[in-house]
Amino acid sequence: MKRWIGLVVVIAMGLGIMFWINKNGDANNSADKKNRMFDPDDLDAYANESQDSQFGADRVRSDAKPAPFDGKRAMKYLETICALGPRISGSASMRKQQALIKKHFEDLGARVTFQTFEAKQNSVKGKVEMTNIIISFQPEKKRRVILCSHYDTRPIADQETDPRDWRKPFVSANDGGSGVALLMELGHHMKDLKTSVGVDFVIFDGEEYIFETEGVRRDRYFIGSEYFAQSWRKSKDRCDYAAAILLDMIAGKDLKLPVEVHSYNDSPRLCKEVWDIAKEHHAKAFQWRRGHNVLDDHTELHKVGIPAIDIIDFDYPHWHRLSDTPANCSIDSMEQVARVLSVWLQRTK
């Protein structure tokens, strides 16, 4: 009898161990499924991964040609922006930049809206005025997409090795300037792009209004994009945003744009469409491989249900350093990104 009892106990223990292995194996497989990057040719696996996106680029539109983007003119815009000096939220140089952007896009026939609000940062006394800028092309269309970037600069160059350099003038050309310069040049070509959706260029304030140093996490991040997203969510007559593409550090030399992880996990179809267009139009900076996990303005758009991805070179060596100047940016890099965006805008529906 004892022998049978012992045998039963052994079998029960074995079954328990197998259950534990299977349970944990399933959990690990689930985590791997969420974080893995598919082979770009494995379309069946990709198609089965996410079915929640309600928009898609028209892959058969052969008439969608890249806009004749002028990279030299875009670089001049970047140099003009950086000549203003640091553009910290609420500063005089930020107000000059706002006036420059407003005049530029209104001269191109776009509707420009200032979304102005007051914000409180945890490590700073008092409130600061911030302004998101919304530049609308074909504003009458309800179905729309967003191209966005931030335009403020961080108060401290916190990645400099010598703390005495942190508070020296920091113009942040690629991180904060390049997205704006690219959109300024792309604005020249919007009237000629055949788009079935309306387009908003949204330029966020408050992405870099951070005073803490590495390892300290008291300050609020993404203040402008949070305000924009929540305002859109609460609006009773809001438009239908099909998708958003965030531009962050897209002009560095030797540009490399792997797929940012949060972007892929939340909006895999949008990632696939953009990187497929890049492959089609020989924009070699776009690399279909797993990139960094980057918290950025696109995560605030995710929270309110707007499919959004971040095109970002997070390995840019001059990030948050005094050396982030136009001299370390590239015309070719901006032209590659613009080539992809201008085709995507025409194919999106």
DSSP per residue, 301-347: HHHTT--EEEEE-TT-TTTTSTT-SGGGB-HHHHHHHHHHHHHHHHH
Condensed to tens digits (0 to 9), the pLDDT of residues 44-91 reads 455 445 444 445 565 545 679 999 999 999 999 999 999 999 999 999
Query: In the predicted model, what is the mean pLDDT of residues 282-299?
Result: 98
- 311 burial via Cβ count (<10 Å: 0-12, 13-18, 19+): buried
Mean residue pLDDT across the chain: 88
Tokens linked to 148: 């966005």
DSSP 56: -
Residue with tokens 């910290």: 88
- The Cα 175–Cα 153 span in angstroms is 8
Q: What count of other Cβ atoms lies within 10 Å of the Cβ of residue 208?
A: 26
Give 113's Cβ-side CA count (13 Å radius).
10
- The Cα 287–Cα 283 span in angstroms is 9
Condensed to tens digits (0 to 9), the pLDDT of residues 230-258 reads 999 999 999 999 999 999 999 999 999 99
Q: What count of other Cβ atoms lies within 10 Å of the Cβ of residue 10?
A: 10
- The Cα 66–Cα 139 span in angstroms is 23
Is pLDDT at 102 greater than 80 in this prediction?
A: yes
Query: How remote is the C-alpha of 204 from its chain's centroid?
Result: 11
Residue with tokens 């012992």: 6
pLDDT of residue 45: 52
* C-alpha distances in Å from residue 5, one per residue of 8, 19, 180, 223, 281: 5, 21, 75, 65, 70
Q: Are 338 and 330 in contact (CB under 8 A)?
A: no
Quick one: which of 298, 235, 237 has its CA closest to 270? 298
pLDDT of residue 212: 84
pTM of the model: 0.86
